């Protein structure tokens, strides 16, 4: 008799697991799809907009390196409650609310990101998720359960990250202007100085990958690198990139005919080589860092369904990363071109030299912010970097109407995520309670 009851309970538990796992997979697929169409497109926008690579090449690069970064270095452990926004202990008595909430957060963030992608707005996946979690927590628990100081810190990154990235990118492009573009022999100077910039690209991108992407891998194998050690490794990577890039530059020959219409046509050919390195490395770093935004809530919900209780940490199954990685790639291929166009062409006109300055400025900002523990948005950082490059050529070089619409989309991202999450939460509560 007891055995029969145990079997029945086990069977019921399996049915419940399947009941919630299926919609969770759909939800994370939607969010990953929207993430690829928006955030990943942001990462590739400068390379495409500068015409260093085509959209087709960007898709191929992103497909390989974003997926590799997401699957290989996306992290094996994730916090169940995104960035400490709510206290898990407040949900111990109602673990089903965590499942409803995480499912609602995934669908809400995915819905908002998809809307933004269709319009062409570059918005933050992190902020979408944060807004969604705040929304469900406010109605499922209480407004007081939300860590508003943490939310305020995240919101402050709206200002900090684009300003910092814009400043660095501005200075980088001004250095390119003084050392290369505004000289008597820009092509010769480009071949002389670009290897130095290649070193900086290799260094910064490697630092981003080590600090943001591979930290989970290192933690799992018990291998910890200090900031100084990571700097040494990044320096060696920078030297390798500079050497390989320098060899490739020897094959770039000056074509006088190209300079009839554009004095800097041959110079941009040199920077285009640099942008190929940048596109590949940035895609890997982005994939390794941001995949948790899409799959983290799913891992939390699955852990709760299986255990029947709320835990502070949850394992990240490989198949979850696989779903996230595939969704990201499909989103980029289908809708990514709209956000790429906004980042790459609509804010300001980009060339390979300008795109390089923007990408390196964004990477440097991520490294600096990570070193001091400042939460930032990759999207906001890249937009700020592009703005900084545009300002280096004067205010008239910026499309202020597009800039205003982007800022507006940032302001409404948190409340939009919250509103959608509240709607989905009440739907799930009504259906399953």
Q: pLDDT per residue over 383-395, tens digit each? A: 999 999 999 988 8
Q: What is the DSSP string of 49-77?
A: HTTSS-HHHHHHHHHHHHHHHHHHHS-SE
**Confidence at 4, pLDDT banded by 50, 70, 90:** very low
Mean pLDDT taken over the chain: 78
List all residues 6 or more positions away from 387 whose beta carbon is below 8 Å from its beta carbon.
162, 166, 347, 348, 398, 403
Neighbours of 433 (CB within 10 A): 8
pTM here is 0.79
Q: pLDDT per residue over 95-135, tens digit each? A: 777 778 888 888 898 899 889 988 888 888 878 888 888 89
pLDDT value at position 321?
Answer: 66
Q: Is pLDDT above 60 for 168?
A: yes
Which of 115, 31, 88 is closest to 290 using CA atoms? Answer: 31
> Cα dist. 417→104, 109, 188, 320, 325 in Å?
10, 6, 51, 22, 22
Q: Is pLDDT above 60 for 293?
A: no
Q: pLDDT per residue over 327-366, tens digit each? A: 777 888 887 877 887 888 888 888 899 988 888 888 788 7
Q: Three-state DSSP class for 375?
A: coil
pLDDT value at position 6?
Answer: 38
Place of tokens 């709510």: 86
Q: What angle do CA 39, 40, 41 make, to 5 degrees?
A: 90
pLDDT value at position 226?
Answer: 81
Place of tokens 């007081």: 144
Residue 141 dihedral angles phi and psi, to the nearest 5°: -115, -80
Instruction: Compute the distance between CA of residue 392 and CA of residue 403 in angstroms, rounded to an integer.
Output: 16
pLDDT value at position 154?
Answer: 75
- Using CB atoms within 10 A of its CB, is residue 32 exposed (0-12), middle (13-18) or buried (19+)? buried
pLDDT value at position 423?
Answer: 94
Q: Is pLDDT above 80 for 63?
A: no
């Amino acid at each position: 008799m007891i055995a029969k009851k145990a079997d029945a309970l086990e069977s019921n538990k399996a049915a419940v697991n399947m009941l919630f796992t299926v919609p969770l997979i759909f939800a994370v697929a939607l969010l990953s799809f929207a993430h690829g169409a928006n955030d990943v497109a942001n990462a590739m926008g400068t390379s495409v907009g500068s015409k260093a690579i085509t959209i087709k090449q960007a898709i191929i690069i992103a497909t390989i390196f974003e997926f590799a970064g997401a699957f290989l270095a996306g992290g094996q452990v994730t916090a169940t409650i995104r960035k400490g926004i709510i206290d898990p202990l407040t949900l111990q008595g109602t673990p089903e609310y965590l499942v409803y909430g995480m499912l609602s957060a995934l669908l809400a963030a995915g819905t908002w990101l998809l809307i933004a992608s269709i319009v062409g707005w570059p918005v933050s996946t992190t902020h979408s998720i944060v807004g969604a979690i705040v929304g469900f927590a406010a109605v499922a628990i209480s407004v007081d359960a939300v860590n508003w100081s943490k939310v305020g810190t995240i919101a402050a990154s709206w200002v900090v990250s684009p300003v910092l990235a814009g400043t660095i990118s501005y200075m980088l492009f001004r250095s390119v202007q003084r050392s290369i573009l505004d000289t008597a022999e820009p092509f010769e100077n480009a071949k002389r100085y670009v290897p130095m910039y290649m070193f900086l690209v290799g260094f910064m991108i490697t630092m981003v990958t080590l600090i943001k992407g591979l930290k989970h891998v290192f933690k799992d194998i018990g291998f910890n690198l200090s900031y100084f050690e990571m700097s040494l490794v990044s320096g060696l990577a920078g030297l390798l990139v500079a050497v390989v890039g320098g060899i490739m530059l020897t094959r770039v020959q000056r074509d006088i005919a190209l300079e009839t219409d554009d004095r800097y046509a041959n110079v941009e050919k040199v920077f285009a080589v640099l942008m190929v390195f940048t596109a590949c490395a940035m895609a890997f770093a982005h994939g390794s860092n941001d995949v948790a935004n899409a799959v983290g809530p799913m891992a939390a919900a699955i852990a709760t369904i299986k255990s029947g209780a709320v835990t502070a940490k949850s394992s990240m199954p490989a198949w979850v990363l696989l779903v996230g990685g595939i969704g990201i790639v499909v989103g980029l291929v289908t809708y990514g071109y709209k956000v790429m166009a906004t980042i790459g062409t609509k804010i300001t006109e980009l060339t390979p030299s300008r795109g390089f300055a923007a990408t390196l400025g964004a990477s440097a900002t991520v490294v600096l912010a990570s070193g001091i523990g400042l939460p930032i948005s990759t999207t906001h950082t890249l937009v700020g970097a592009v703005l900084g490059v545009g300002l280096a050529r004067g205010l008239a070089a910026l499309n202020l109407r597009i800039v205003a619409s982007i800022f507006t989309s940032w302001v409404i991202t948190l409340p939009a995520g919250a509103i959608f999450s509240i709607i989905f939460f009440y739907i799930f509560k009504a259906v399953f309670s």
